[in-house]
Amino acid sequence: MVVVSAKRVLFYCALACGGLEGLEFGEMGDTSFGMGGAGVALENSSWGLYYNPALLDIDSRTKFGYSFGASIGQENFLELGAQALSGSALGKDAESLNQLLQSHAEGMGRFIMGQSSSVTINANEGKAAKALVNGANAFQNLLKSNGIHLSSQNGIVVQIHPKVKRKGGIGTFGIGIFASAFAGGSVLANPKYNQIIVPTSTLGLPPLPPGAHVPPFIQIGANKNSLTLSQSNQNAFLNSSILSPNAKNTAAIRGLAIGSVPFGYAYGFDFHKGGKLSVGVALRYLYTLSYGVGLTGNIQSLIGQFNSLVSNFNFNFSDVVQQSHFGLDLGTAYRIKGFTIGLVGKYLNAPKIRYNSGISDMRIDPQVRLGLGYRWKWLNLAVDFDLTNNKTLMIGRRSQMIGGGIMANWKWFGIKFGAMGNVSKEGLNQGVILTGGLRLFRVLDISVQSSLKMIGFNNSQDSGPVGFLGNLKIPTYLAFRIGGGWEW
């Protein structure tokens, strides 16, 4: 009973904390977290076991570290929500609506009667026009690229270098306990069916005069400055509309909780003036809990399926897939005159994660990362490059990170900052992410990451329960981490 309860707690924590960007390289420990995620060649850190096991013997001091953190990020879901709030506020702005309707009454009437092929609304015509244009753009952007991810990665590590008389020693050992929760959701729209074309019969138009040639289908197109309604036809609707019965879009939400116990070993070859070369290996036991929900169909069908799922959701823990795996990491690092270059391959055995029925299985493909670092007394520099384009739990979304930073670290105080970003063409567009942190008394480290790309809710003038969002701006990605450690 105790074991079952523990598994339930771990699973519910996964749902509550969410998951990282899925199966990316990830981040652990506050030092690299505050330095743009760079850790493959960062010797002045307790987390070599996670980033590159070869670092265990590059800096062979005995080390202990602990770290707990969470992150959340998204693309285009909150943007659409902000425009929905703006539209809600617009409903109370009768003056702006009347102004828009009056200015386009004649043109809209001629369009509905079939006497003109299109009608255009410019964003600069007023608040109502701007809200309509922005709303249409937000929906189009959501179809092009979207995703939401959450994460919680937590762990404790110990690094030990046994003191022996043997020349060169016997290497350095590391062991850790990691508990992580990953989740991600996205809608993968079929690029062939990316037009907003709707049957006129579904719009609920009032009765029109006899002889009116109402267009059977209307296409809604938008750019940054305007929205255009134009006539369309059934062939275009069937072959390119997001509402076409032929459109097979996919949506999925997947969660993954991982308990991990890694063991690492590294041995360094000291060439004296020629530098030091270290090679390391980490073997980790993995216990995973995985669960997901998948939907398929056109946009209208997806919305219906989602509403039905929410209203009739009945979670059964027996649907959670429980597995045991192992992961293999190999790394190397070379240091000379303060400069370090590191290369690591993680999950080289590509463990397979199974999901409940209706969700396709996935592998954690090997992840390869290159790192460069420099250390001089109290100064540390580091930069990392993902050499592989890594999967995430969001379908259709991938991760390939580049990041780096600087740290000034004294006996009782340290400060660090950096920047990172996802350069994958299939990645979420979260812009440049700034990172930073403070270390106090060697035992407490607080770090934060935030994207420069912001979402503004300033279009909302609602005075109700969400009125406080009126002037709010939030980053598309935000993460925090608290931890610490000792080296001696």
Tell me which DSSP letter residue 167 carries: T
- What does the pLDDT read at residue 73? 93
Same domain, yes or no: 383 and 451: yes
What tens digit of pLDDT does each residue of 290-319 get? 998 888 888 888 888 888 888 888 878 888
Candidate ranges 160-164, 195-199, 444-448; pick with highest mean pLDDT? 444-448
Same domain, yes or no: 395 and 449: yes
The pair of three-digit structure tokens given for residue 221, joined into one six-digit string: 């197109």
Phi, psi of 73, rounded to the nearest 5 degrees: -155, 160
Contact call for residues 437 and 445 (beta carbons, < 8 A): yes
Identify the burial level of 281 via C-beta atoms within 10 angstroms of its C-beta, where 0-12 means exposed, 13-18 middle and 19 or more buried: middle
- What does the pLDDT read at residue 190? 87
- What does the pLDDT read at residue 134? 87
Same domain, yes or no: 259 and 159: yes
What tens digit of pLDDT does each residue of 34-87 get? 999 999 999 889 999 999 999 999 988 899 999 999 999 999 988 888 887 776
- What does the pLDDT read at residue 330? 97
Same domain, yes or no: 206 and 348: no
Banded pLDDT at 15 (limits 50, 70, 90): very low
- What does the pLDDT read at residue 14? 35
Instruction: Tell me the percentage of the chain whose pLDDT exceeds 70.
Output: 88
- What does the pLDDT read at residue 212? 67
User: Taking the model in full, what pTM does it have?
Assistant: 0.85
What tens digit of pLDDT does each residue of 73-131 get? 999 988 888 887 776 666 566 677 777 777 887 887 788 777 788 889 898 888 888 88
- What does the pLDDT read at residue 5? 44
* Residue type present at position 3: V
Instruction: Tell me the percentage of the chain whose pLDDT exceeds 90.
Output: 46
What tens digit of pLDDT does each residue of 137-154 get? 888 888 888 999 999 999
Domain interval for residue 266: 2-76+145-190+248-487
Cα distance between residue 45 and residue 52, in whole Å: 11
Going by C-beta distance under 8 Å and a sequence separation of 6 or more, which residues neighbour residue 242?
143, 189, 193, 194, 195, 196, 197, 249, 298, 299
Same domain, yes or no: 205 and 292: no
167 pLDDT more than 80:
no
The pair of three-digit structure tokens given for residue 183, joined into one six-digit string: 């989740």
Same domain, yes or no: 87 and 51: no
Helix (H) or strand (E) holding 165: none
Banded pLDDT at 6 (limits 50, 70, 90): very low
- What mean pLDDT do residues 424-432 have? 90
- What mean pLDDT do residues 6-29 have? 50
Q: How much is the mean pLDDT over the chain? A: 85
Same domain, yes or no: 430 and 326: yes
Cα distance between residue 8 and residue 13, in whole Å: 8
Same domain, yes or no: 160 and 119: no
Same domain, yes or no: 198 and 303: no
Banded pLDDT at 22 (limits 50, 70, 90): very low
Same domain, yes or no: 127 and 224: yes
Identify the burial level of 266 via C-beta atoms within 10 angstroms of its C-beta, where 0-12 means exposed, 13-18 middle and 19 or more buried: buried
17 pLDDT more than 50:
no
Phi, psi of 239, rounded to the nearest 5 degrees: -100, -10
Number of domains in the chain: 2
What tens digit of pLDDT does each residue of 431-463 get? 999 999 999 987 899 999 999 998 877 654 444
- What does the pLDDT read at residue 156? 97
Banded pLDDT at 19 (limits 50, 70, 90): very low
Same domain, yes or no: 342 and 417: yes
For 291-326, give one letter per residue: b (16+ CB within 10 A) or e: bbbbbebbbebbeebeeeeeeeeeeeeeebbeeebe
Helix (H) or strand (E) holding 410: none
More confident site: 285 or 26: 285
- What does the pLDDT read at residue 468? 54
466 pLDDT more than 60:
no
Supply the CATH number for residue 39's domain.
2.40.160
- What does the pLDDT read at residue 467? 52
Same domain, yes or no: 362 and 418: yes
Domain termination residue (choose one: 216, 240, 264): 240
Query: Can you point out the beta strands (E) in 275-397?
Result: 276-297, 321-336, 339-346, 352-353, 362-363, 367-376, 379-386, 390-391
The pair of three-digit structure tokens given for residue 18, joined into one six-digit string: 């969410």
Place of tokens 């580091």: 382
- What does the pLDDT read at residue 300? 83
The pair of three-digit structure tokens given for residue 342, joined into one six-digit string: 């590191």
- What does the pLDDT read at residue 88? 65
What tens digit of pLDDT does each residue of 355-389 get? 887 777 888 889 999 999 999 999 999 999 999 99
- What does the pLDDT read at residue 13? 37
